Amino acid sequence: MLLDPLVIVRTVHFAACTVAMGTLLLALLTRAAMRRELTGGPAPMQGFRALALAALATAGVSGALWLALIASNILDVPLTEMFDDGGLAAVALDTRFGRIACLRLGLALAVGALVLWKGPGWPALGAATALIGSIALTGHAGAGTGATGLIHMFADVVHLVSAGVWVGALPALAWLLWRSRAEPARGPLAADVTRRFGRLALMAVAALLASGIVNTAILLGWPADPFATTYARALAVKIAAFVAMLVLAAVNRFRLTPALPRRGALSALAGTALAEIVFGLGILLLVGLLGAQPPAGHVHMSAAAINREAAHVHIHTSQAMADLIIDPGRAGATMATVQIWHEDYRPFAADRVRLTLEPAASDVPALTREAEPAAEGTWVVNALRIQSSGEWVVRIAIERSGTAFTLEGTVVLAQCSNDCW
């Protein structure tokens, strides 16, 4: 799963956005330290600018590839055929994920233009913050509704921005510390920047902890076995890596930073910053995996788990996808399960779902039933009685946040046996 192209591309994109924001933040801290005339050498702003532009270029390319991979999944065609017949353009313009991806690509270009035009500054940092925060729209938080959905979205944005403040600034900080070893004139500057960053990092860690607790409570719920799913196990490893980063950060903050600007402290601090970067990359890889997995508290029926006697239809539109399972798949007493997804396979949190079954070639009246929510994105219709076999037209009416639309498809039901009523 970790070698899945979508997981890898997501990881690269998250890392690039995180580094872009963190580098621009550290550049502003460095500029503030320079105003106190603590450096006797040239400012490292050119290095920060180059690192930020490289990260933004990587974010743009990986974001476009992410969109292409999602489009390939939606259209069920190889990635090499995505540009035929305007398939990629249709996904980019007609799906929610595609529109968000285009918006984020525009933000990346805007940040790059600001860095090239004005250099690292507050406008570029603001746009980079919007770039990393908008990742929340593409994840599990983007599928939420109501008060819980708003809380989840806010917590996810805080989590992402806090990661940009702390983890994203580490590569630029490590570079500054490493350069200061060979250029003693930069020692006081590096020491002052490190102290400033340390204060911000403490606030970022607190925000990461608080938002992480909220996200975990919403996503995991209270599963009977919290380690029963890939999502929960990956989350546990992510938490362990985060704790390791906290230990290194504590060593940096309370042991090495007070010893600056001595050369030994600079070297040690650069080394521990690199170790934090390694753990941070591991966490980002797990984030890429987590986004492709259903949370432990929201496990859905897989295609492999469908009863062989059930009738199944997959309906796919630009608004949502749905899987209807009628089990047993025959006339008579049965039940229906409706699973609704976003186009990137995230559960679709609807407010109301209504199922209508209408025989394609019969005078039998149509059946319309209100579905009951069973889990995130999953709805059921119990005690369903279907009067005849054959082909039936399926209509799934979905309401969310005042917007209504209908998915339509067909399903074939078998003949009722003597005891099926």
Is the pLDDT at 108 greater than 90, yes or no? yes
DSSP string, 390-413: EEEEEEEEEEETTEEEEEEEEEEE
Which amino acid is residue 382, in one-letter code? Answer: N
- The answer to whether residues 159 and 217 touch, using CB atoms and an 8 Å cutoff, is no
Per-residue pLDDT reduced to its tens digit, 166-190: 889 999 988 888 887 767 667 788 8
The dihedral of CA 148, 151, 152, 153: what is its sign?
positive
pLDDT tier for residue 395 given thresholds of 50, 70 and 90: very high
Is the pLDDT at 2 greater than 60, yes or no? no
Is the pLDDT at 303 greater than 50, yes or no? no
- The answer to whether residues 343 and 97 touch, using CB atoms and an 8 Å cutoff, is yes
Could you say which DSSP state residue 217 is in? H
DSSP alpha helix (H) spans, 292-349: none
Which residues 6+ apart lie within 8 Å of 6 measured at CB? 66, 69, 70, 73, 288, 292
Residue 51 pLDDT: 94
- Give the residue, 101 or 341, on which the prediction is more confident: 101
Mapped onto helix, strand or coil, the DSSP state of residue 328 is coil
How many CB atoms sit inside 10 A of residue 415's CB? 11
Per-residue pLDDT reduced to its tens digit, 12-70: 999 999 999 999 999 999 988 887 654 544 568 888 999 999 999 999 999 999 888 88
Average pLDDT of the residues in 191-216: 86
**And the tokens for 127?**
């746009």
Average pLDDT of the residues in 384-400: 88
Per-residue pLDDT reduced to its tens digit, 142-151: 555 567 778 8
The dihedral of CA 181, 185, 189, 195: what is its sign?
positive
Per-residue pLDDT reduced to its tens digit, 338-389: 999 876 567 888 999 999 998 876 778 889 999 999 877 899 999 888 888 8
How many CB atoms sit inside 10 A of residue 208's CB? 23
Per-residue pLDDT reduced to its tens digit, 245-302: 888 888 877 777 777 767 677 777 778 888 888 887 778 777 766 665 555 444 444 4
Which listed CATH number (1.20.1070.10, 3.40.640.10, 2.40.70.10, 2.60.40.1930) goes with 303-413?
2.60.40.1930
Would you list the domain boundaries of the chain? 5-213, 303-413
pLDDT tier for residue 304 given thresholds of 50, 70 and 90: very low
